[in-house]
Amino acid sequence: MKRFDISTVYHKSVAGGHPKEALEATFDIVQDETSTRGRQLEAETLLTVCQIMNSISSSEGKPYHDSLF
């Protein structure tokens, strides 16, 4: 199972006033097979990051990188 969330986070401004906004992504990959090797999980993580980056860039109307998939 994998899931990810992309949303705006707010950081306290050093000067006070309106907080700074930033776009942040988090993701979880849950694997319960004991035979899965670390390299397979690393590859799954990299694929998930690429999918997230494509999701962000497609929402802005431009592809991140077409040759990734």
| Structure confidence by residue, pLDDT tens digits, 11-39 | 998 888 889 998 887 877 777 777 767 77
Q: Domain tally for the chain? A: 1
Domain assignment of residue 50, given as a range = 2-68
Closest CA to 50 of 37, 64, 40: 64
| Residues 56, 61: Cα–Cα separation, whole Å | 9
Q: Rounded to two decimals, what is the model's pTM? A: 0.44
pLDDT for residue 66 is more than 60: no
